[in-house]
Structure 1
Amino acid sequence: MMLDDPAEDSAPRTVGGYRLVRSLGRGGFGEVFLGEAEDGTRAAVKVLHASWAGDADMRRRFAAEVEQARRVSGFCIAAILDADPGAAQPWIATEYIDGPTLQRAVAEEGPRRGVELHRLAVNTATALAAIHAAGVVHRDLKPDNIMLAADGPRVIDFGIARAVETTSVTASGVVGTIGYMAPEQLEGARLTSAVDVFSWGAVMVYAATGREAFHAPTQASRIARILGGGPDLGDLPEPLRGIVLLCLDKDQDRRPDAPALLNLLIAGPQGPAPSAAHPAAPQGSGVGATLVAPVPGTDPTRVAPPSGADPTRVAPASGVDPTRVAPAHGADPTRAYTRSVPAGPPSAGHAFAGPAAAGPPSAGHAFAGPAAAGPALPPPVPGGTGASARYTGAGGVPPYHFAGVRFTDPGALAEAMQGNWAAAVRVFGDTTERAALGAWLMDDLGDTVVDRALFRRHTDDANLALASFIGQTRPDLPPVFRGRGATLAELGALFSDPRPVITGAPLSNEMALLARPEVLRTMGLHHGPDPAAYQRLADDLDAAEHAGNTFHQELTGRLAGWRSAGPNVSPALILTFLLHPERTVPPSDGGDAGVGEWVDILWRRVDAFPGPAGVGHAAAIYGAMPTLQALSRQRRYWEERYTKVSTEHGALRDKVEQQQRFFRIRRYCNYALFAFPVGIVIGISGDAEWLGDLLVTLSVLALAASVVLSVVLRVGYGDPVRRGQRVMELNNAAAQLPELTSGVERIRADLVHARGITGA
């Protein structure tokens, strides 16, 4: 298992009057310690890493963040006690919260329920209101950054917070935690306080269910679900359920701000909670917020057409699809499309002209004229070209309205949706809207081209569903995904540089969404010079990702130091290597010889497996770079520690042996002093004067030697207390050596086993 590295970037033991007791955790920007002031006050002291402390821009941003955070009211957050952005290693001391994080509490005790959940929601929303009132955006609100103190929850870690004034002008990169990041945050767009409201909604889902709102097996699928799918709210109860849905709206402008959120939590929503796709109408309005105001002098129920446009105009079609089957003559003149919408008051964005049909249409559709019965849908016009089928007939085709335009041809609709991806993905991301579109295609038009599953199954990826609809309906169009061209040439240009993936730049999220086999296969629905190229690329991506994950599992299963290393095989990096094989080169070791040794060993596996498998192995090595760096640091620490303790042990052993030798000799000399009285007695008796003289002489010499040895011991080895301490130090060093020896041998054994795995 991976070991902590106490030698890495060690901070001073005293910071700003706080004695650093122990480390509480470390991150990419700094390390947090438990600190104690002279009066016993405890604080969480964050010290900026030495590598960042030398960066002038980082110092400036750190100082600005400290100044902004000082303006946040101290209730419901970990208040700032002191800070020094100008120190050699800038630091900030905040209130120490003695309690578990929400992440740990839910994992160990289970989801929150009832009053406890509501109290958590109110307190955290209050904290957000205080943070935003100070002009600060947290940007990384998640269960790990909410501490459950005895007197209530507290929001912590403003380490990556940014001032609203800064983030509203320019994006500073994607910072946050996947699963709790807002769509605009994932896309690297300009950020506002709305990102924290989205994160708050995701946190509440986790607190109530024990799982993420947008949970999925891979990072790419989690990103896709956040951008185009719906949240899984589990058994989240009302009224909190409706409030959370508002906060998780894809459109940041439709989310409540923190004060409005707090008001909703305190007062409760009036009437049924609106869904994320259908926000509440403005106060005083009887219809949705997006309803177009009528032009004075016109029928108040009729939508004003665009200037100069024929209000009855139908979007032109581009040709007849020979595979599209027209519905049988005599179809129900009331049209299934109009019947598919539930009865009730119109939703946001609806406008009607003429009498209501069997039920009002769903959001986003406008109708001109009565829904009168008409003749059956005529067959496609013969002689058409392209993949689009053009349906004609006076009043025979009920229109579908998208982006203010009436469509009677699916091909023209698909082309318009590809050109206005953001509006189209809202249709596919809303269950009701998608069902209405499916009813229009299948029941009203009798379409047999588009897969029914697009409209009858739940989808977590609206972007992929939209791309599939466009590809099936208009394969003659160039492939596009999320509004970005996706021809092979365009993919090659986008994936020409692996650095965004390696550094986590905003573009990496877009690359991750494209680098999925299902997306590539969907792009392959479009006609091109090599229709099978996308399929081959998707198959290679599948094979490479499998090989990379298998390689990682082999390393974690056989190497002790890898057991806690999570898999991080990036499909985006794989696709980069597949499209540009020349980019498949070993990662830089950054001047770290230990990392370089690991890379040299592991890269043998890449050389041994050409093709997709080798590409997958290369991506696994790039993904394991944080592990390699940690292993290298640990190896240096353990080897340096072993060398130091081993050297100290050898020196102590020699010195203790010498001092004990002198001590024994002096003790023998002291014993020899007893010969003095014996020699005197023998000399007086006169029986053996020579023996008496000898004993007296020996005792005098022993006395002199004892005095000399006492001086030597005192001067060379210290007083008895120090000599005793030296013996204890030797025993302690001897006790450490087995553990240090085991650690060093384990690290070296991992290198040996890795060579065996890769054949190095």
Structure 2
Amino acid sequence: MSTQDTEVGGYRLIREIGRGGFGSVHLAEAPGGGLAAVKLLHADPGTDPRFARMFADEVDAARRISPFCVAQVLDADPHADRPWIASEYVEGRTLAEEITAEGPRTGADLQRLAIVYAASGRHAFSGDRQTAIIKRILIDDPDCSGVPDELRGLVTRCLAKEPEDRPSAHQVLNALLGFSEDGADVDTALARGTTAATKEMRPLAPTRWETRKVSADEPERPSDRGGETRFEEAGRGPAATPSGPASPPYRFAGRLHHSVGELAETMAAEPGTAAAVFDDADERAALAGWIIEDLGDTRIDRSLLRKPPREDVIAVLAFISQARPDLPPVLGEADLSLSGLREVSDGIDDPLDAHSDFDVEIMEIASVFECRAPDHGCARGDGCAEYRALIDDVRRAMAVFEEIRHPYTAWARGPGRGKEKAFDFQIREEVFVHAVLFPEPWRGLVDGDRASLEEEWRAVLPAEPPHDAPLPERVAHSLVIRLLCRVLRDLAARHRKLSARRKRLEVYLPAREKADEVGSEAGFIVRNALAAAVVFGVVGWAGLSSGEDPRIGLAIGSAILAYFVSGGILVAVWDARTKEILKDVTEPYTHVKDQKKKVERAKKAIASLGEEIDALDRAREELPSPARGG
């Protein structure tokens, strides 16, 4: 695909998913969202013009086939410089994957496919190596033992070695339709084959929901609503075509239903049972057959019936809104109207900490239903304009938030913060819904968050937009402030904790040093007293031994005793002073017994804590803000 082929008819090409002799097929993003398959014709100045005509015929044929049989044609331009056709993108398995998973085809399924692999689940010329397969194709007979008797002869002839021995496509088609191989001309055979493949299904008118091409002032015809001229009449009885009897009924929740409108009303009352229908592929197919083939109803979005729903509640509500927009947007006990949304949201104290079942996609569908509020002044049949205005404000607030959050996300990723998730996580849509619905209570929550911060942290918050700024802008900026308040509260709490710990250590160190100094002085005196006592004791003992006056020994003994007593007193005084010095100090690292090691550890901790506190101070000052508010 060339670099200029990035968009065709409003479809953005994503990647090529197939290529053939006529053109290439690309996975594309449709203008209104969702995926589509876009086929481009190989076209250049030397291309045979017949290719373009054949492509136009292909487009015309695809439009005539019932959209329930094949992927729906969304748009096409066979006469463009490079002709193209866009159809619904339907993911599915290849034939090989289908046979591997489900086993060989039989009966009518097999005849419709009319091929040596779907019947038996193995190749006619199988082999474990490519050379063996080629040899069998060139020399050996095909293995058709698994093909039913009624098809074996035809399949064997199709695999004949000589081209002249093989039947033409015209002959194969006649044989499959039960005619003699040459009993009908090509056009007749093709017509019969088309009828057999599509079971005589008539072409369907374009779906108004899908095409959106009906202008607002175009009068609505009964045929646009499957024979029902008013939505109020949709549930009253069988839908009958002008030329035929009533269509067969559809059984749901134990009742027979004769119109899509009647079914939609029951589904609104039985949302759980309805969700099971949309979750089950067979049930969806049965419902689609009844709506499309039996009733010929063109109101329902075909994608609701063709693929599993992303959320069953959304699928049920979408079905009801398309079939009976005159009904109130209620599923079982859940009121999805604007008043119901207000009631649910009004009961939430803080949407940042709560969760509700509302999201914008449900709101968009609910806004399609006919507005019943007398004070809204909404036009009949046009849904709820106030609901749509609310949705627009919510969408805009979400977009503004996405635009302005990135600098704060980068800031929150800074060293030591670890708060990037505060701005990276997907804010729930109901937060924006609540803020838009109740701007004054939301503003009160913002003011409360601001007040929860100390002045030095509150001062770095960005200023809010003025009161006359558009509501979505105010909501987005105030949400940023609320998230910042939560991050800053955590950082401030951490700052207080680290500062308190550093202060305790800073108080401990000088007190410990003073206590150690007092202890050193007392120890010096005690040591001197002990030394003097020993000296006097030795001298006194020597005097007594030499026969001197005994009074000398008594005096010396008294002196020694006095020294011991005074030393004990000094130790007691030292102990009391140490306790006095350390009485208001929290002893750290109680498991460390060596006071010297404890002091060294405290000094290192003070330095480390200081670095962390400084980092938090820098984080506070580096907070992005075009203007600071207090």
Alignment TM-score, normalising by the size of structure 1 = 0.39
Q: Higher helix share goes to which structure? A: 2
Bigger radius of gyration among the two: 2
Alignment TM-score, normalising by the size of structure 2 = 0.46
